[in-house]
Amino acid sequence: MTNYINKINCFADAEARYRDTKPLVSKHHTLEQDIRPVGDRVRKYERIIKVSDTCYALSCGGRVDPVFTWGLHVDNRVREAYPITFAEIARLSPIVWRKLKDGTETITIRNGAGEWAHNMVYSFMYRALPRNIGFVQTREGKQFLNTQERSRIHLPKTTSAPRYLVEYWKAEKQKGKMTSWAKAYMNAATAGDDGLSVTFKREENGRFTLVGEPHKVMVDRTYVNKELKASLKKDVTAFLEHVTVLYPLMQAQMNWELRNHTIKELNLIAKEHKLLDRIGSGYGNPFQEADPKLIHRIIKDPDHPMRHSLTIAAIIQIKAAVDHFRDWRYSDTSPAEVEKLRSAHIRSAVNKWINKTCGFTNTIRKEI
């Protein structure tokens, strides 16, 4: 039962939970750190923090916890230069209880930062939110809150971050070349309050009323620039035909050693031709996040010095598509039909890679 958290349903419960919980002190933690677990003491990072007499934050560790900060790839010297403040804890913690001057009680709920999944935060919310607020996670990666008065209140992922993260990624950006994951972390580290939290007012009957308007549900839709793709259709078709012929001959050689060798070779060629800033990050696969105009030149010119590297990159995509196709899902399907499904799966994967690498796609954020 270490996951169990006795519900905090009002400000008085939060106040009492903090007051009645003995601070955890050990060889790893001091009394000054004031670690008061909100549930089982084994899960010490799930704790209640007193910001002031009228504000209590429930934290599950991570970027805004001054003690349990992890998984951020940030130099400790930056954290020491910009220590987390109580104002940041109150602004960015997953759950914050407040009591206003007129006696009104509010609860502010904030999702994790970044467009990826935040399973630790979701688990914490399932267990730590008051009884009259339900937490729902959909298969599409969206999170919602339900109350007795209203359902499906969108809880968008946030981008706000404490100052040490903002300053760290600002410095990293100035260094120049960044990987895709570094850019994603940087985009999830903006200063100030992005306004993407959800606040409820607690009524006298114990129910909760939404404060303000609900957030819109936004999704990314990808569209193909058909005119641009049509202008390169002949060259792309010839390139993929060449790749398809080579794949059976090179299939056995497709491994991480060849991938790394190709990336090193590509970097040497790019350096020689002063194109290092246009071949992408090189993290994972060759030409990842490369300049689409450079890819167009390579596809159009069979004698381009980077043609071989792009060919290997395409073969790597075919190999990945083949490996990800699961025959066992079609145990009741005829072999001929399975082969058709396999071919369609590979064509789709390679087409998706071509669209992205050549810059044929545009992503638009829309409301649904």
**How confident is the model over 302-344, as pLDDT tens digits?**
999 999 999 999 999 999 898 888 777 777 888 888 889 989 9
Assigned domain for 239 exists? yes
Half-sphere exposure for 168 (CA within 13 Å, toward CB)? 25
Instruction: Answer yes or no: do 156 and 303 share one domain.
Output: no
Half-sphere exposure for 76 (CA within 13 Å, toward CB)? 3
Residue by residue, what is the 3-state secondary structure of 70-98?
CCCCCCHHHHHHCCCCHHHHHHHCCEEEE
Range of weakest confidence among 20-29, 107-116, 258-267: 258-267
Res 215 pLDDT > 90: yes
Question: What are the beta bridge partners of residue 220?
Answer: 365
Condensed to tens digits (0 to 9), the pLDDT of residues 271-308 reads 998 988 888 765 667 888 889 999 999 999 999 999 99
Instruction: Answer yes or no: do 276 and 301 share one domain.
Output: yes
Instruction: Answer yes or no: do 81 and 228 share one domain.
Output: no
Instruction: Answer yes or no: do 227 and 210 share one domain.
Output: no
Where does a domain end: 216, 232, 260?
216
When divided into structural domains, the chain yields a total of: 2
Residue 201: which pLDDT band, with cuts at 50, 70 and 90?
A: very high
Mean pLDDT of the chain: 90
Instruction: Answer yes or no: do 45 and 186 share one domain.
Output: yes
**24 in helix, strand or coil?**
coil
Assigned domain for 4 exists? no
What is the model's pLDDT at position 284? 65
What is the model's pLDDT at position 158? 93
Range of weakest confidence among 20-24, 50-54, 188-192: 188-192
Instruction: Answer yes or no: do 203 and 236 share one domain.
Output: no
Question: What are the beta bridge partners of residue 136?
Answer: 144
Residue by residue, what is the 3-state secondary structure of 155-179?
CCCECECCHHHHHHHHHHHHCCCCC
What is the model's pLDDT at position 281? 67
Instruction: Answer yes or no: do 184 and 236 share one domain.
Output: no
Assigned domain for 56 exists? yes
Half-sphere exposure for 34 (CA within 13 Å, toward CB)? 12
Q: How far apart are CA 144 and CA 129, in angstroms?
A: 13
Residue 253: which pLDDT band, with cuts at 50, 70 and 90?
A: confident
CA proximity to 89, closest of 38, 159, 162:
162
Assigned domain for 342 exists? yes
Condensed to tens digits (0 to 9), the pLDDT of residues 154-186 reads 999 999 999 998 888 888 888 876 777 778 888
Instruction: Answer yes or no: do 97 and 206 share one domain.
Output: yes
- Return the DSSP state at 103: S
Assigned domain for 5 exists? no
What is the model's pLDDT at position 288? 82
Instruction: Answer yes or no: do 265 and 283 share one domain.
Output: yes
Range of the domain at 359: 223-367
Burial (CB count within 10 angstroms: exposed 0-12, middle 13-18, buried 19+), residue 85: middle
In the chain, the percentage of residues whose pLDDT exceeds 70 is: 98
Range of weakest confidence among 216-225, 269-278, 326-335, 350-359: 326-335
CA proximity to 23, closest of 4, 49, 59, 3:
49
What is the model's pLDDT at position 328? 74
What is the model's pLDDT at position 280? 78
Q: How far apart are CA 168 and CA 62, in angstroms?
A: 16
Residue 226: which pLDDT band, with cuts at 50, 70 and 90?
A: very high
Instruction: Answer yes or no: do 199 and 340 share one domain.
Output: no
Where does a domain end: 201, 216, 231?
216
**39 in helix, strand or coil?**
coil
Assigned domain for 197 exists? yes
Instruction: Answer yes or no: do 36 and 169 share one domain.
Output: yes
**17 in helix, strand or coil?**
helix
Assigned domain for 95 exists? yes
Assigned domain for 291 exists? yes
Where does a domain end: 158, 190, 216?
216
Instruction: Answer yes or no: do 17 and 159 share one domain.
Output: yes
Condensed to tens digits (0 to 9), the pLDDT of residues 144-158 reads 999 998 999 999 999
Condensed to tens digits (0 to 9), the pLDDT of residues 54-94 reads 999 999 998 889 899 876 667 778 888 899 999 999 999 99
